[in-house]
Structure 1
Amino acid sequence: MVSHRQFFNEEMETLPKQKLQALQLERLQAVVERAYTHNQFYRKLYDEAGVKPSDIQSLADIRKLPFLEKKTVRAAYPLGTAMRPTGGEGGALQLHATSGTTGKSVPVFATRKDIENWADLNARELWMVGLRPGDVMMNCYGYGLPTGGFGFHYGAMAMDVMSIPMGSDARQYERMFDFIKDFGVKAVCMTPSVGLYIGNKAAEQGLDFKSTSLKIGLFGAEPWPWETRLKIENLLGITAYDEFGMTEFLGPGMTCECESRDGMHAWADSFLVECINPETGEPVEDGQDGELVWTWLTGDGTAMIRYRSRDLSRLWWEERCACGRTHPKISGIKGRSDDAVSIRGLIVFPSQVEAALIQFPETASNFRIIVDRKNDLDTFALKVEVKDLTLLDDAERVKLLQSNMAAAVKSITGNTPKIELVAQDSLPRASGGESKTASARVEDRRRSL
């Protein structure tokens, strides 16, 4: 019977490494050729770098191609990386996008071919963690421009699993509990912080999910230590799995843990992942810490070639995992090599906050992001220096300014901060090598928890 199969796509999931890498080279050559021939943005990028598609004769030759930076892609907004027209036969049928530093996003165009492949990749992951046709999954990722909820939704449909699109608002935990019990939910997918939040709410109410159908949890979009995983498993009575994806590549569906839970399989037939020294750009040895760089080998509507993720991890190949799969693995994301911080599953850049605050004439030259965790959910606070100290004596004016600043920051980052106005020159400033990072503007108290 279908439900007793070990793999969703056995042929591709167990393809020997040598054949996988041959397929990667074939697809790399094709996507580079197509991008150079049909995309003005890539032709200009590669001409300036002095590289032609014919220069790609081996996988190692990918290093001849320039890295793709987020700022470069944003500069090409809106259609710089598009490979198909919008709508019509063969055209892009769906548009997703990241948040933008100054209101501009990284758009991702998905054709029918992309969506079908996306569904296959996510179905592999759901099958890998134990879901089978006829099961019920509650999807607690957001459904919107970021790709969060859509990937697993399409994957569930592809394998005849019923998906409940609950969304990411953890405040509706009562409904979540009802649906888990009343509809026989077997798996949930959400961010780790939401998992902790609803788990603690369940504990407060004395709910024991061990008597329900709930067995599996998929968690991603935030770094989370093993201790957090164990706590979530205990609270919800599940086995928790790590997964990782990026909106720029129609994630989720890029990587996920198997039953071994010793790294996430990265689907090498669709993505070529490199691990580099973030300072030099040179490759690091298998299993060494570095920054992940991704190339979308099967992207039909969008070209993403050698895109620097800024995510810090490790990459290694095994001839065959204990689960039987042959695709390489990455470790859980440790953090980022740039100045970004993940808050409630969304990446926030200090430059985004600055772009929002600079609109206000009252703002001085410095601010500080303070991220913490309360009741197992991320908190986001901003200390903002003001030019005129007397402003702080006017309670009504302070309240209005705090409200307006919070709204401006939310419009760019997707997160609403709690604003505290402080005197000018009262916050720490960058010094020495620290000036190359955002360390003077970000205080992440979660790291000490």
Structure 2
Amino acid sequence: MSDRKYFNEEIETLPRERLRALQLERLQAVVTRAYRQNPFYRQLYDEAGVKPEDIKSLEDIQKLPFLEKKSVRAAYPYGMAMVPPGGEQGALEVHATSGTTGKSVPVFATRRDLQNWAELNARELWMVGLRPGDILLNCYGYGLPTGGFGFHYGALEMGVMVIPMGSDARQYERIFEFIVDFGVSAMCMTPSVGLYLGRKARELGIDFTRTRLRIGLFGAEPWPWETRLKLEEYFHITAYDEFGMTEFLGPGMTCECQERQGMHAWADTFLVECIDPETGEWVEEGQEGELVWTWLTGEGTAMIRYRSRDLSRLWWEERCPCGRTHPKIGAIKGRTDDAVSIRGLLVFPSQVEAALLRFPETGTNFRIIVDRHDGLDTFLLKVEVKERQLLEQNERCQELARAMAEAVKSVTGNTPKVELVPPDSLPRATGGESKTASARVEDRRKLHAGA
């Protein structure tokens, strides 16, 4: 086991002023290259009346127009590419968003992009405590999504053996078998998959204190602190939050250090802004807003001022207690496009999840169903229970439903009608859907609009 504290000490502990200078240098370079090499960006910036030479400071990034997902999709398939496919200098790998609400957003990676991606993920794995000789069970999806490949490449870069299990949680018995038999040290997956596996493990009586498992990396969907505590209880691990976007070859964008007081965003590679989602203006440091990302080193794809729709906070510290100097973002609260307005109040699925996790009877999934009758919003909350037998106890179910409704009201201001349903009976997120509300919210009001 290595006693090195950092995977790349020089860059991870670079003073803020030097990081900011590096960001400006790379921002100017990527804007210039995008304008000169990419017709999409040239037209975008010409219409906005901005030229690369207008970027003289980091604050000048505000002169550039935002990238919206709909405009990026309109450039499909090769409009965002900076290099041709293949060849020594061209794109060697392509990944893409799920395309659940329209065309996929492809991201093209050159050999250098893949090397940088591996290094960023190695930084994160090292930061949470993995070392050469450890074994990582990777339960993110392999394929067009980036989760599986990102941590896979990072593990190889730092000398960690990786088991590419994939994201099919239905093979839970095999997952547990590998954790026990191969001496798995760490695992990575979405929090919802983690909860599902944890409950299955408890049903099977698996004692993780008798295994080598000690670290869990969870991301790709908003998850409250209550979920972290539940995952740590199930697996006897330390659980870490990580965040990445397919459009930037995430993961490898941000991750918690062992302090677990915000996620470090790698400022040498990404410039992150936090804006008021309504006005587009910067919010004060540490205030909640929408994250906007610029990929400073992307060679195969240019992503400059891309609106993520993710709600969080951004702040700098002189130096984190862990020694790193890169800025931090807070846990993703939700998305500007997954909050649902019910009776004039915004409700986030993550708020509902936090309330339901107070109840040991809660199963793996829930679904918010919003409708409108006689001009008024209705709020139905279907909640899976952990044990099917519970549904046979009518009086207990009624009491539990009332208690759950009160708990949800306490955090959202809205009182739902709670309906308890059998385990594993509700739709589940797959791939990139987990970052949106599509698997947790069903808004039927749209069906009745104009009716």
TM-score w.r.t. the length of structure 2 is 0.78
CA distance in 1, matches of 2:144, 2:362: 28
Which residue of structure 1 lines up, in the alignment, with residue 188 of structure 2?
189
CA distance in 2, matches of 1:24, 1:124: 19
Deviates more, 1:168-177 or 1:243-252: 168-177
Which residue of structure 2 lines up, in the alignment, with residue 118 of structure 1?
117
Q: Secondary structure at the match of 1:92?
A: coil
Q: How do 1:237-256 and structure 2 match up within 5 A?
A: 237-256=236-255
Which residue of structure 2 lines up, in the alignment, with residue 268 of structure 1?
267
Question: C-alpha displacement at 1:338, in angstroms?
Answer: 2.1
Which residue of structure 2 lines up, in the alignment, with residue 39 of structure 1?
38
1:398-423 CA distances to partner (integer Å, 9 max, x unpaired)? xxxxxxxx99x9999699x99xx9xx
Which residue of structure 1 lines up, in the alignment, with residue 423 of structure 2?
none
CA distance in 2, matches of 1:376, 1:169: 18
Question: C-alpha displacement at 1:5, in angstroms?
Answer: 0.2
1:61-114 CA distances to partner (integer Å, 9 max, x unpaired)? 000000000001011111111001100111100010112256511110001100
Which residue of structure 1 lines up, in the alignment, with residue 337 of structure 2?
338
Question: C-alpha displacement at 1:379, in angstroms?
Answer: 5.4
CA distance in 1, matches of 2:56, 2:256: 32
Deviates more, 1:220-229 or 1:21-30: 220-229
Which residue of structure 1 lines up, in the alignment, with residue 138 of structure 2?
139
Selected match of 1:377 from 360, 364, 389 = 364
Distance change in 2, residues 1:102/1:125 (3 Å)? closer
Deviates more, 1:289-298 or 1:139-148: 139-148
CA distance in 1, matches of 2:363, 2:106: 32
1:240-284 CA distances to partner (integer Å, 9 max, x unpaired)? 000000000000000000011010000000000000000000000
Q: How do 1:248-327 and structure 2 match up within 5 A?
A: 248-327=247-326
Contact kept, 8 Å, 2:134 with 2:160, in 1: the verdict is yes
1:13-61 CA distances to partner (integer Å, 9 max, x unpaired)? 0000000000000000000000000000000000000000000000000
What amino acid is the match of 2:50? V
Which residue of structure 1 lines up, in the alignment, with residue 198 of structure 2?
199
Q: How do 1:55-204 and structure 2 match up within 5 A?
A: 55-100=54-99, 103-204=102-203
Distance change in 2, residues 1:153/1:376 (3 Å)? farther
Question: C-alpha displacement at 1:428, in angstroms?
Answer: 3.7
1:121-166 CA distances to partner (integer Å, 9 max, x unpaired)? 0000000000000110000000011111110000000001000001
What amino acid is the match of 1:94? E
CA distance in 2, matches of 1:282, 1:134: 47
Question: C-alpha displacement at 1:321, in angstroms?
Answer: 0.1
Distance change in 2, residues 1:410/1:315 (3 Å)? closer
Q: How do 1:358-397 and structure 2 match up within 5 A?
A: 376-378=363-365
Contact kept, 8 Å, 1:316 with 1:330, in 2: the verdict is yes
Q: Secondary structure at the match of 1:24?
A: helix
Contact kept, 8 Å, 1:290 with 1:313, in 2: the verdict is yes
Q: How do 1:348-367 and structure 2 match up within 5 A?
A: none
Contact kept, 8 Å, 2:145 with 2:431, in 1: the verdict is no
Distance change in 2, residues 1:430/1:286 (3 Å)? farther
What amino acid is the match of 1:31? V
CA distance in 1, matches of 2:291, 2:174: 38
**Aligned-residue RMSD, C-alpha:** 2.9
What amino acid is the match of 1:35? A
Contact kept, 8 Å, 1:103 with 1:412, in 2: the verdict is no
What amino acid is the match of 2:124? E
CA distance in 2, matches of 1:14, 1:274: 21
- Give aligned-pair identity as a percent: 73
Contact kept, 8 Å, 2:37 with 2:82, in 1: the verdict is yes
CA distance in 2, matches of 1:24, 1:138: 34
Q: Secondary structure at the match of 1:143?
A: coil
1:188-214 CA distances to partner (integer Å, 9 max, x unpaired)? 000111111111111112211112100
Q: How do 1:430-449 and structure 2 match up within 5 A?
A: none
What amino acid is the match of 1:186? S
Contact kept, 8 Å, 2:185 with 2:213, in 1: the verdict is yes
TM-score w.r.t. the length of structure 1 is 0.78
What amino acid is the match of 1:178? E
Which residue of structure 2 lines up, in the alignment, with residue 351 of structure 1?
none
Which residue of structure 2 lines up, in the alignment, with residue 231 of structure 1?
230
Distance change in 2, residues 1:294/1:410 (3 Å)? closer
CA distance in 1, matches of 2:219, 2:251: 9
Which residue of structure 1 lines up, in the alignment, with residue 53 of structure 2?
54
Gaps of at least 5 residues in structure 2 are 341-355, 373-425
Distance change in 2, residues 1:289/1:217 (3 Å)? same
Distance change in 2, residues 1:226/1:101 (3 Å)? closer
CA distance in 2, matches of 1:219, 1:179: 19
Q: Secondary structure at the match of 1:46?
A: helix
Gaps of at least 5 residues in structure 1 are 342-371, 386-405, 436-449
CA distance in 2, matches of 1:62, 1:154: 31
